[in-house]
Amino acid sequence: MVYQFSNAAVTIGLLLLAANSLAHPPVLAHKVEVTADVAGTWHVEPNHAPKAGEPAQVWIALTRKGGELLPLEQGNCQLQVYALPRAAADPPLLTPTLQAVNAEQYQGIPGAEVVFPKIGLYELELGCTPKTAGDFTPFQMSYEVTVATAASPPAASPLAEEPTAQPAQPSQTEKASQTQPDLAWGTLAPLIGLVGLGVVGLVIVKRFVKPPV
């Protein structure tokens, strides 16, 4: 039996499929690498898409065969970051300090903050040896990271406004020198007036008062 679908039915089906994709976007899967007796699940935040110049959180969930968690405290581990492409003799670009972190359902797993210097391809390499001999087989695992974007530059600060020129104010010494003449004249004026009145009075007395014979 051959079924025939109208254009309208096909269109409605495609719209329903697109709506379902938008409602359930694909989730970025963690990379899992398995060695002799340890499996490592790599994750880089945010969303496996770090930006150059911004801190990115890297963590690796280590589990033994059977699913038992292997915390950082049980191993001597080191994380190294290489720029790709790389030669065998190239030294690591970064050696971030590992710390025990809690992520998702994992507790005490190795993690580190990494700042990728520029856009490009990098390789993260984790090497661990057991603190207790024979606890697990020493291993080394790696993970490639693509840094496609850079951090936004900081906003430019506004230019500092030039200070407005203020009119020069007279100093205290200049104020004092301007005030002293005024004070001196105000003090001497009454004295000069009194002396003048005294002279006029003497003249009048000598003129109208006759001395006794």
Q: Is residue 160 included in any domain, yes or no?
A: no
Q: What's the pLDDT at 13? A: 45
Q: Is residue 163 included in any domain, yes or no?
A: no
Total number of domains in the chain: 1
Strand 106-115 versus strand 149-150 pairing type = unpaired
Count Cα atoms within 13 angstroms, Cβ side, for 1: 1
Q: What's the pLDDT at 145? A: 96
pLDDT digits (tens, 9 = 90+) for 151-201: 887 666 555 455 555 655 655 655 555 555 554 445 555 555 555 555 555
List the domain range (segments joined by +) for residue 131: 27-150
Hey, what are 54's tokens? 């911004």
Q: Is residue 12 included in any domain, yes or no?
A: no
Residue 151 near residue 46 (C-beta atoms within 8 A): no
Q: What's the pLDDT at 128? A: 98
Instruction: Return the CATH number at 109.
Output: 2.60.40.3340
Cβ-Cβ contacts under 8 Å for 48 (sequence gap 6 or more): 28, 145
Single out the residue of 122, 126, 120 nearest to residue 59, CA to CA.
Answer: 126
Strand 51-52 versus strand 75-84 pairing type = unpaired
Q: What's the pLDDT at 153? A: 76
Q: Is residue 156 included in any domain, yes or no?
A: no
pTM score, whole prediction? 0.60
Q: Is residue 184 included in any domain, yes or no?
A: no
3-state secondary structure the chain: CCCCCCHHHHHHHHHHHHHHHHHCCCCCCCEEEECCCEEEEEEEECCCCCEECCEEEEEEEEEECCCCECCHHHEEEEEEEEEECCCCCCCCCECCCCEEEEECCEEEEEEEEEECCCCEEEEEEEEEEECCCCCCCCEEEEEEEEECEECCCCCCCCCCCCCCCCCCCCCHHHHHHHHHHHHHHHHHHHHHHHHHHHHHHHHHHHHHCCCCC
Q: Is residue 15 included in any domain, yes or no?
A: no
User: In which residue ranges of the chain is pLDDT below 70?
Assistant: 1-29, 154-213
Count Cα atoms within 13 angstroms, Cβ side, for 79: 22
Residue entry with tokens 């002279």: 199
